[in-house]
Chains A and B, each alone.
Chain A
Amino acid sequence: MEHDEIEVLREGHPAWRLLRAGNAALVLSFLGQFFVVDNHGAVSSTELAAALDDQLHLLNLSAPDEPRYPRPAPDYLQDWAATESGWLRRFYPSGSDEVHYEATSDLEKAYAWVTGLRARTFVGTASRLETVFDLLRQIVHGAESDPEARLTELRRRRDKLDREIAAAEAGEVAVLDPTALRERYQQFAGTARELLSDFREVEENFRGLDRAARERIASWEGGKGELLAELVGNRADITASDQGRSFQAFYDLLLSQSRQEELSELLAGVQSLDDLHPDRRLRTIHHDWSDAAERTQRTVRQISEQLRRFLDDQMWLENRRVLDLVRSVEAAALASRESPPPVGLDVDVPGIEIALPLERPLYDARPAAEVDSLLDPEAEADVDISALFGQTFVDQARLADHIRTIVPPSSTVLLEDIVNFYPVEQGAAEIVGYLALTDDDLEVTLDETQETIIEYADSTGQRRARLPRVTVSRR
């Protein structure tokens, strides 16, 4: 690579920028664990922020007065998804009102590089040489179209097998020694994990293909016939690309019943070899592959469907025309900016209103209420005034103090935890009191998707309150 090319990468490549970032340790440890190691797909911002919150809390615990990471979790996430960073992809999926985040392959690259820095106990080279031989054989024989040559190769392989069978029958079995086994296992583990991380890049490549196709269509200046030719060419683009075909082949291979079974058996076999100290996570790596491949497959399906819609002849022309018209609207609007024209769009009003006058109730005269505040002095004595004093008063200042005692500045705690320390004394009113806190330094948020159960006792006995998950943050 040349000097300038490296310079550009150093300045511009998200992975390299991540390595240079001030809080690289936080980004890599958190996002790496969450997305790469735990193999998560796109997640909602609440879920990711909650996970980051826990992490930040742990990291800040050592110095609660001068936290290392003082900002709230959502802020960090937004930064990491900004165009200048590019370690997370931020989008609103259809069907959800919440921002979702997804790791980019650049994050994956940076993480892989950092984990690669950790010294390995030994580096196996022999098994790699075997793999190289194997690959070479596949290439050479795979490209061989002469039947004679193919037969020679097949016979050679049969002879080799025959010799092995004869040796086994004579009682000689060549066993790999533990080092050779460990070495092969190491290579397997590396490849298996790399495969998992490759999916993210595959997905990004698909998105790139899609974007390129759309750009080409959007900027098309030629005639309609050429356009159609271009459209037909593009339609096949994504699935017929090298990327598309390789991915499809992988997917078919993985999904075939016999392969699945073989993989399960082999992985179980590997786990039972004591000398290897196998990684337990790898036992089910094929499920992780399936998950990740399924995710990618879904993305690809979505992308091609959207692209097909975008390519739809009529819509393309309509979009074209809309853009032209918008341009002329913009120009006219600019020209008469200082005196806005009294004209507007004429649009249909969605919905048809039916107003039935007789559906409304007739005027109903209410009797005037009479108020007599003068009490008969004799009746006064019997009035039960306990109801006036019986209303509960919840001292919100006390509740706020509870929170300030438990929650360190700029961190977040579940309401349940606060109630564990300061049991509810005034029943439901007190819980509502927490929710209604309006102090400047405290923030109470409700998460409707999750549920909390708070138990407390009042005069009627043990009670349970069921409410959305409540978190309390302190600024």
Chain B
Amino acid sequence: MRTAQEQAVATAIIKLMRGVVYREADEDSWTLLERHAAPVRDHFAAIGVQVVVDDIEGYAYLRNADDEDTEEPLPRLVRRRSLTYNVSLLLVLLRKRLVEFEASGSEGKLVLTRDQMVDLLRLFLPDSSNEARVIDQVDTTIRKSAELGFLRQLPRQPGHWEVRRILKAYVDAQTLNDFAGKLTEYAGAHPGGDDD
């Protein structure tokens, strides 16, 4: 039999492994996590995974611990994934909107409609007379970003999406820097872009 303490720690660990834990959406898991932070951290530290808890923003997630100094790094447990170009672009533009949202002193959460996201992306998509195709593309992109957990559709307002703050943790300056580097390299190799 597990003791109550063990049960709580195990629950917190499983919740974290399933994905980002939000204070707002799952108070119970959040409290468990706060109360049993030390054993949870120890559990993950043993397998080279770091628990990041952001008290201010109210989310917690797992990250590969930086163990570059050690001779033999552990195999990666948290998987990295390359996103498609369109999804990446949308995430970058949303990241910018988050910064602007904060800089304007707005409170609460950033909510965008599908049309606003179409407008954000349209400038960067190839010119197309087929408006419907552009919108379909944006819809697919939005859906993918939602699957990754960066957008959340408001339950009673179809077409309204909350930009989740976890985006700041995942699309950070380091990630952006890598992407910008790759893009600039590509743009340099394909000037004008019309030649292929």
- Evaluate contact between A344 and B103: CB separation under 8 angstroms: no
CB distance from B192 to the nearest CB of A (A): 8
CA distance A219 to B104 in the complex (A): 12
CA distance A377 to B168 in the complex (A): 74
CB distance from B131 to the nearest CB of A (A): 17
Among residues of B, the one whose C-beta sits closest to the C-beta of A347 is B170
CA distance A302 to B170 in the complex (A): 26
Whether a CB of chain B sits under 8 angstroms from the CB of A275 is no
- Evaluate contact between B186 and A345: CB separation under 8 angstroms: no
- Evaluate contact between A345 and B191: CB separation under 8 angstroms: no
- Evaluate contact between B96 and A341: CB separation under 8 angstroms: no
- Evaluate contact between A326 and B175: CB separation under 8 angstroms: no
- Evaluate contact between B124 and A337: CB separation under 8 angstroms: yes
Whether a CB of chain B sits under 8 angstroms from the CB of A475 is no
Q: Contact partner of B187 among A94, A319, A332, A353, CB < 8 A?
A: A332
Q: How many residues of B contact A (CB 8 A)?
A: 74
B102-116 near A? 1/0 per residue, CB < 8 Å: 111111111100000
Which residues 22-58 of B sit at the A interface, judged by CB distance below 8 A?
Answer: 24, 49, 56
Evaluate whether A332 and B180 lie within 8 angstroms (CB atoms) in the complex, with A350-B149, A351-B18, A352-B77 already known. yes
A251-289 near B? 1/0 per residue, CB < 8 Å: 000000000000000000000000000000000000000
CB distance from A53 to the nearest CB of B (A): 17
Q: How many residues of A contact B (CB 8 A)?
A: 57
Q: Contact partner of B87 among A96, A217, A344, CB < 8 A?
A: A344
- Evaluate contact between A335 and B109: CB separation under 8 angstroms: no
Among residues of B, the one whose C-beta sits closest to the C-beta of A309 is B56
Using Cβ atoms and an 8 Å threshold, which residues of chain A touch B74? none
- Evaluate contact between A319 and B19: CB separation under 8 angstroms: no
Using Cβ atoms and an 8 Å threshold, which residues of chain B touch A333? 89, 124, 183
Using Cβ atoms and an 8 Å threshold, which residues of chain A touch B127? 337-338
Whether a CB of chain B sits under 8 angstroms from the CB of A295 is no
CB distance from B102 to the nearest CB of A (A): 6
Q: Contact partner of B96 among A326, A351, A352, CB < 8 A?
A: A326
Using Cβ atoms and an 8 Å threshold, which residues of chain A touch B103? 214-215, 217-218, 310, 319
- Evaluate contact between B83 and A339: CB separation under 8 angstroms: no
Which residues 66-96 of B sit at the A interface, judged by CB distance below 8 A?
Answer: 77-89, 91-93, 95-96
Which residues 323-380 of A sit at the B interface, judged by CB distance below 8 A?
Answer: 323, 325-326, 328-330, 332-354
Q: Contact partner of A306 among B86, B87, B105, CB < 8 A?
A: B105
Using Cβ atoms and an 8 Å threshold, which residues of chain B touch A303? 105, 107
Q: Contact partner of B170 among A97, A99, A350, CB < 8 A?
A: A350
Among residues of A, the one whose C-beta sits closest to the C-beta of B87 is A344
CB distance from B157 to the nearest CB of A (A): 7
Whether a CB of chain B sits under 8 angstroms from the CB of A91 is yes
CA distance A94 to B59 in the complex (A): 13
Using Cβ atoms and an 8 Å threshold, which residues of chain A touch B158? none
Evaluate whether A91 and B106 lie within 8 angstroms (CB atoms) in the complex, with A338-B194, A345-B92 already known. yes
B140-180 near A? 1/0 per residue, CB < 8 Å: 00000000110000111100001000100011110111111
CB distance from B72 to the nearest CB of A (A): 21
- Evaluate contact between A211 and B172: CB separation under 8 angstroms: no
**Most A Cβ at <10 Å: residue of B17, B91, B180:** B180
Using Cβ atoms and an 8 Å threshold, which residues of chain B touch A302? 107
Using Cβ atoms and an 8 Å threshold, which residues of chain A touch B170? 347-348, 350
CA distance A303 to B111 in the complex (A): 19
Among residues of A, the one whose C-beta sits closest to the C-beta of B191 is A335
CB distance from A116 to the nearest CB of B (A): 32
Q: Contact partner of B193 among A217, A319, A339, A353, CB < 8 A?
A: A339
- Evaluate contact between A337 and B92: CB separation under 8 angstroms: no
- Evaluate contact between B78 and A330: CB separation under 8 angstroms: no
Among residues of B, the one whose C-beta sits closest to the C-beta of A308 is B56
Using Cβ atoms and an 8 Å threshold, which residues of chain A touch B157? 97-99
CA distance A309 to B78 in the complex (A): 29
- Evaluate contact between B173 and A98: CB separation under 8 angstroms: no
Evaluate whether A347 and B184 lie within 8 angstroms (CB atoms) in the complex, with A94-B107, A318-B172 already known. no
- Evaluate contact between B125 and A337: CB separation under 8 angstroms: yes
Whether a CB of chain B sits under 8 angstroms from the CB of A171 is no
Whether a CB of chain B sits under 8 angstroms from the CB of A250 is no
Evaluate whether A345 and B194 lie within 8 angstroms (CB atoms) in the complex, with A93-B108, A97-B154, A211-B104 already known. no
Using Cβ atoms and an 8 Å threshold, which residues of chain A touch B149? 350
- Evaluate contact between A319 and B99: CB separation under 8 angstroms: yes
CB distance from B98 to the nearest CB of A (A): 9
Using Cβ atoms and an 8 Å threshold, which residues of chain A touch B84? 344
Whether a CB of chain B sits under 8 angstroms from the CB of A436 is no
Among residues of B, the one whose C-beta sits closest to the C-beta of A299 is B107
Whether a CB of chain B sits under 8 angstroms from the CB of A106 is no
With A97-B154, A343-B182 given, name 9 new contacts (CB 8 A): A92-B110, A96-B108, A319-B99, A340-B126, A343-B88, A344-B88, A345-B88, A347-B81, A347-B175
Chain B residues packing against A (C-beta within 8 Å): 17-20, 24, 49, 56, 61-64, 77-89, 91-93, 95-96, 99, 102-111, 123-127, 148-149, 154-157, 162, 166, 170-173, 175-180, 182-184, 186-187, 190-194, 196
Q: List 22 A-B contacts (CB under 8 A).
A: A92-B108, A322-B96, A323-B99, A325-B177, A326-B92, A332-B184, A332-B187, A335-B193, A337-B127, A339-B193, A340-B86, A345-B171, A345-B178, A346-B80, A346-B82, A346-B175, A347-B148, A348-B64, A348-B80, A349-B80, A350-B61, A352-B79
